[in-house]
Amino acid sequence: MSTRLKALNAYRHGLRATRIAFQNDTEVLSAARAKMRSGMVNPPNPKLTEEEQIKHLEDVAVFLKRNLVQGKKVNDGNKKEPRYHLNIHKDTELGDNETTADPTARVKTNLKARPFKCSDKKQ
């Protein structure tokens, strides 16, 4: 398969993933698709090879489909705690409690959490 055809397929997968992840939110859907389109025209990291860029786009599409869940605040009468309706679909990756409880099963990342400060809390 040619590189151009692989790139078009990855782009299509990305568009489908945005449709799944951002359904019923046209503003965010349009922004995500515009960002994807601009990334196809002007790749964000020109140092990567074409194959690496295609792989990155495929990875983004998989992440959008499996790991992104949108929530909508639901007005639930006089309750003090806000409630949210989550858009969980058939492709959403649901974890289990075993991986959370077992510290050896956790995936190590390079992200470092900053300490929580009282001033961070909204009042």
Query: Is 87 inside a domain boundary?
Result: no
Read off the pLDDT band of 103 (50, 70, 90): low
The verdict on residue 112 lying in a domain is no
Q: What angle do CA 89, 91, 97 make, to 5 degrees?
A: 90
How many domains does the chain fold into? 1
| Residue 38 is assigned to a structural domain of this protein | yes
Task: Tell me the residue length of the chain.
Answer: 123
In this structure, is residue 17 part of a structural domain? Answer: yes
Q: Domain limits at 40? A: 3-69
Q: With respect to residue 111, please indicate whether it lies within any of the assigned structural domains.
A: no
Q: Is residue 16 part of a domain?
A: yes
In a domain, 54, yes or no: yes
pTM of the full predicted structure? 0.68
DSSP the chain: --HHHHHHHHHHHHHHHHHHHTTT-HHHHHHHHHHHHHHHHS-S-TTS-HHHHHHHHHHHHHHHHHH---EEEE--TT-SS-EEEE---TT-----HHHHH-GGGSPP-S--PPPP-GGGS--
* 14 domain residue, yes or no: yes
Tens of pLDDT, residues 18-50: 999 998 889 999 999 999 999 888 888 888 898
- Over residues 80-101, the pLDDT tens digits come to 777 888 888 888 887 766 655 6
